[in-house]
Amino acid sequence: MAEPLKNMYNQAYLDDLAAAVTADFPLFDRAGFFGRINDGRWEERALKERMRHIVESLHPGLPGEYSQALTILRKTAPRLGNYGFENMIFPDYVSLYGLDEWAISIPALEQFTQLISAEFAVRPFIVKDLSRMMAQMQRWATHENASVRRLASEGCRPRLPWGMGLPSLQADPAPILPILELLKDDPAETVRRSVANNLNDIAKDHPQTVIAVLARWQAEDGQSLSPELDSKTGSEMTWIINHALRTLVKKGDPDALALLGYPRDPAVLVRHLALEPEQVPSGGELKITFEIQSLSQAEQKLMVDYIVYLMRANGRQTPKVFKLTKRTLAPGERFTIHKKHSFRPVTTRKYYPGEHAIEIQVNGKRFGREAFVLAAEQD
């Protein structure tokens, strides 16, 4: 079993951190630092809780003047360059204690992000002063260092996982778009990936904005997309567009699929949908079989998914889309799909007994619907 991520904050890192701080600030009270760390709750803290606890335990041992403390930490951080995520404590220190010290905090974040990303730490600055911070992010988008350029995009993702929410940018992503324009052709793959992830975040609230941006980028790139293209083929822009649209594609958004070359109204016949067994035992499998036939006189590209209408605790069904296959069908061509769907318990999804249903989705268009029953767990 894999070790919990939170254990990357361990005694070895704390010892090295204390030694590194002491090297630049001999008055650092190591005993006091470790006393604050060991408050009896260390083991119960999650990853980011441990990070914040380290920052709060470090702070009393540094000079009371923020500028002096930050000067020490800017010297200390490079001494711990052999660590990765653990060094998130440095930008976190800035976000916690430096929000009112813009002139020295922003250069520190620019430095720290070259050691470990400051994507979480910039977000309180965005919340505090959106226009000022987004102007700074736009300047960072032209920085010579790729890690700083990535921060310009990653830090303002509206729905960054693990990050503080940015409701203002969720409501209106307009301040983000000039930054993404500057970064869309960036030579660094990490930066282009961040651009795609940012657009994918925006698409959850403003799908038409993202589709319009990507359609223009696609036209400027001069390549039409193909469903077969991935990160190893086609242009870098092709990859960005595919990656940025992944949430909309999974939802079957017809505009997103059309941008990727899938016809909005596929000429197909979906038939012989069969589910076996009609009553699935708890933790068992459902066998799904159906046939698709092209009714078009021309070749057409299809993205085939299936939707499971899952019973919830409130007695209502909610749909969840699962990917199946991408096919290019010749006129009149037909093919049969066989799929097994498992109802084994997983940590991210709880299954409830009762009536469920399966529906087939082709290029976002839904065909047929068959019900089945998931049996209750046996005592």
* Residue at which a domain ends, from 118, 133, 157: 118
Residue 252 lies in a domain: no
Residue 125 lies in a domain: no
**Higher-pLDDT residue of 260, 378:** 260
**Residues of the chain with pLDDT > 70: what percent?**
96
| Cβ–Cβ < 8 Å for 286, 372 | yes
Q: Please, which pLDDT band fits residue 187 given cuts at 50, 70 and 90?
A: very high
Q: What are phi and psi of 288, to 5 degrees?
A: -115, 130
What pLDDT shows up at residue 133?
Answer: 98
Give tens-digit pLDDT for 316-360.
Answer: 999 999 999 999 999 999 999 999 999 998 877 889 999 999 999
* Residue at which a domain ends, from 99, 118, 137: 118
User: Mean pLDDT, the chain, as a whole number?
Assistant: 93
Q: What is the mean pLDDT of residues 358-375?
A: 94
What pLDDT shows up at residue 233?
Answer: 44
What pLDDT shows up at residue 252?
Answer: 87
Q: What are phi and psi of 306, to 5 degrees?
A: -135, 150
Residue 354 lies in a domain: yes
Q: What is the mean pLDDT of residues 123-150?
A: 98
| Cβ–Cβ < 8 Å for 310, 255 | no
pLDDT at 223 over 80: no
How many domains are contained in the chain?
2
Residue 203 lies in a domain: no
**Least confident range of 63-77, 104-118, 161-175, 212-226:** 212-226
Q: What is the mean pLDDT of residues 299-316?
A: 94
Residue 32 lies in a domain: yes
Q: What is the mean pLDDT of residues 296-323?
A: 94
The residue among 81, 83, 135, 80 whose CA lies nearest residue 106 is 135
pTM of the shown model? 0.85
| Cβ–Cβ < 8 Å for 363, 263 | yes
Residue 26 CB partners (closer than 8 Å, separation 6+): none
Q: Please, which pLDDT band fits residue 143 given cuts at 50, 70 and 90?
A: very high
Residue 201 lies in a domain: no
pLDDT at 21 over 50: yes
What pLDDT shows up at residue 93?
Answer: 98
CATH number reported for the structural domain that contains residue 369 in this entry: 2.60.40.10
Give tens-digit pLDDT for 76-123.
Answer: 999 999 999 999 999 999 999 999 999 999 999 999 999 999 999 999
Give tens-digit pLDDT for 282-299.
Answer: 999 999 999 999 999 999
pLDDT at 231 over 60: no
The number of beta carbons lying within 10 Å of the beta carbon of residue 221 is 19
> Could you give the C-alpha distances from 267 to 89, 119, 192, 247, 300, in angstroms and in order?
56, 45, 35, 24, 8
What pLDDT shows up at residue 2?
Answer: 67
pLDDT at 148 over 60: yes
pLDDT at 227 over 50: no
Length in residues, the chain = 379
Residue 162 lies in a domain: no
Cis bond before residue 277 (omega within 30° of 0): yes
Position 117: which residue type?
S
pLDDT at 257 over 80: yes
- What is the domain range of residue 60? 1-118
* Residue at which a domain ends, from 103, 118, 133: 118
Residue 22 lies in a domain: yes
Sheet strands side by side (includes 354-362): 279-280, 365-374, 354-362, 300-311, 317-329
pLDDT at 225 over 50: no
